Chain A
Amino acid sequence: MQAEMRKQMLRTWRVGLLFGLALAAAPAHAFIAYVSNEKSNTVSVIDTDSWTVTKTIKVGQRPRGIDFTRDGKFVMVAVGDDDTIQMIDAKTQTVVDSLPSGPDPELFAQDAAGKVLYVANENDNTVTVIDLEKRARLGDIQVGVEPEGMTISPDGKTLINTSETTNMAHFIDTSSRQIVANVLVDARPRFAEFKHDASELWVSSEIGGTVSIIDPAKHEVTGKINFEIPGLRKEAIQPVGIGMTRDDKTAFIALGPANRIAVVDTASRKVTKYLLVGQRVWHMAFTPDEKFLLTTNGVSNDVSVIDVAAQKVIKTIQVGELPWGITIAP
C-alpha cells in the first residue's frame, strides 16, 4: 500500500516536474510547514499552495519546539513530557529517531552549519549540547533557572539563553561553553532573535509586556518596545515569538492573548500596525521566499497566514489542539 502510494507520488512528481519545465512561469513554489500541537500530541503538515493540512503525525507527549534540520531532511520536535527530541523524516512524514536531550526539553537552536544542537531543558536548569550528525550528547551547560528562549548568533559564536526566573538573557560562548555575560530584561523573557546582520538581539518578555533590544557586543539594553492596544488591559499583551525579515527592516511580534501580531519598523523601533490573527498567538515562521508569515494560535487552534508585503491576514487554517511552534521546509 505504502509502496504503491510512494510510486504514485513519484509519478505525480515527475509529471509535475515536466509541467514545471514546460511552463517557465510556473505558479509560486509550494512549501511545507510543520506545526507542533502541544495538547493533541501531534504535528500538522500544511501545504502552502492549497493552504490545507495534508497530514497529521502522531508524536510524543507535549510537542513544543520544532525546527527543520538545515539539509531539510528531518523535522526535529521537542516532546517535553517524553524527555526527548523526536526526528520526523520529511519524506515519509513519520517519526524515525530521537535525540538525547535532558528532562523536559522545550526549545532548541542549531548552529549555522546544522551540526550542533543546543536544547533548553526546562526542568533541570541546563542546556544540552547534541552532535546532530552522530545524534549523540556532547555535554551540558549550566544556565539560569528554567531556561526558555534559545538562539544562536549569526556567526555561531554566541548562544543566547533566556531564563524565566532570573529574567536575564545569558550570553554563552559556544567554544568554551561558559556564560560570558548576563543582561537583565523585563519579567519572564520568552524568546530571543538576532537581526540577520547581528547588530541587535531582540528579547521578548511575556509578563513585562516588552521587547528589549540589546547591543550584543556591549551586552547592554539600548531600547525597549512597548505595546498599546486601546481597550486591552496591559496584562493581556504578552510578547512571545519574534520574526524578522531578511533585510532586518521589519519585525513581527506575537502578542499572545492580545490575539495580535505587532508589526515593528526596526529603524524607528515603533509599532506601525497591529494585525488581529488568532487567539493566543505564540510563534511564527516565514516561507523561504518571505512572501508569507505563518503564526500559531494556541486557543483558536489554528494557523494564520499573513501576506508579508501587504501586512494583511489572508487565511486561517485549523490544526490540532494548542498549536505552539512552526517550521517551514528550507
Chain B
Amino acid sequence: MTVRVLAMAALMLAAAGTAARAADPRYPDWPCTQAKVPEISLAAVWAGPSLDDVQNKWKDDAKVSALVAKLSARKTPLEEAEKLVKEFLAGSAADKTANAKLLFAGLFDTLNAQRSQVMSGLERVSRKQREAADKIREESVQLQALQGATPRDEAKVEALSNELIWKTRIFEDRHKVVRFVCEVPTTIDQRLFALGRVIQQEME
C-alpha cells in the first residue's frame, strides 16, 4: 500500500514538474501546453470596416445584445449560430453594414471577456495545484521517515498514507480537468473567427 502511494506521489510530482517547465516565463501560472495568448487582437479576426465608431453601442441595441448573448453561448452549436447571423443580416436591409459592425463588436467584446475568464480560472487552479504538489512532496518525505523509524508506528504510517492517497487522487483529477479546459480558449477563438468570417461574407 505505502509503496503504491509513494510511487503515485512521485509520478504526480513528475507531472507537476513538466507543467512548470512548459510554462512561458512571462506567465508562470499558465498550465497549458497551448501557448498563452492573453487577448485576441481584432486584426487577427476582422478585415472588415473599422469598428472605431461602434465601440460599446452594441449594448444599447436590445436585438443585437440578445443575439450576441445567444451566439456567444457554448451551448449554441456553431452551425446554428452561423445560420442566426445570416438570418439577422438578411433581415437588416439598409442597415446591414451598421448591424454587421455592431454584431461583430459585441461578439468580439463578449468572447474575449469569456476567454479571459477561462484563462484566469486556469491560472488559479494551477496555483492551487502547485500548493497541493508542495504539500504532497512534504508528506511523502514524512511518510518515508515514519516508515524508516524504529519502532515503527503502524497507525501513523497508515493514516498518513491514506491521506496521501486522497490528496494524490484529487490532484490527478484536477490535472485531467485542466487539460480539458486548456482547449476552451481555442474553442472560443474558433467561434469568434468563424462568426466573424460569416459576418464579413454577408457584408460583401
Contact = CB atoms under 8 A, between A and B. Distances in A.
A276 B197 contact: yes
A278 B7 CA distance: 46
Contact of A231 (B43, B186, B193): B43
Contact of B47 (A274, A299, A301, A316): A274
Interface string A284-324: 00000000000000011100000000000000100000000
A231 B189 CA distance: 17
B191 to A, nearest CB: 10
Given A274-B47, A299-B186, A279 B41 contact: no
A230 B43 contact: yes
Contacts of A10: none
Interface string A228-241: 01111100100000
B189 A279 contact: yes
Given A259-B193, A300-B190, A300-B193, A276 B47 contact: yes
Contacts of A230: 43
A278 B42 contact: no
B interface secondary structure, majority: helix
B62 interface: no
Contact of B189 (A229, A236, A276, A299): A299
Nearest to B198: A316
Nearest to B45: A259
Given A276-B200, A299-B186, A229 B193 contact: no
A127 interface: no
B194 interface: yes
Nearest to A236: B44
Given A276-B200, A299-B186, A299-B189, A229 B194 contact: no
B193 A279 contact: yes
Interface string A216-234: 0000000000000111110
Contact of B41 (A232, A276, A299, A300): A232
Given A300-B193, A300-B194, A316-B197, A259 B186 contact: no
Nearest to A232: B43
Interface of B: 41-47, 186, 189-190, 193-194, 197, 200
Interface of A: 229-233, 236, 257-260, 274, 276, 278-279, 299-301, 316
29 contacts: A229-B43, A230-B43, A231-B42, A231-B43, A232-B43, A233-B41, A236-B41, A236-B44, A257-B44, A258-B44, A259-B44, A259-B193, A260-B47, A276-B46, A276-B47, A276-B197, A276-B200, A278-B197, A279-B189, A279-B190, A279-B193, A299-B189, A299-B190, A299-B193, A300-B190, A300-B193, A300-B194, A301-B190, A316-B197
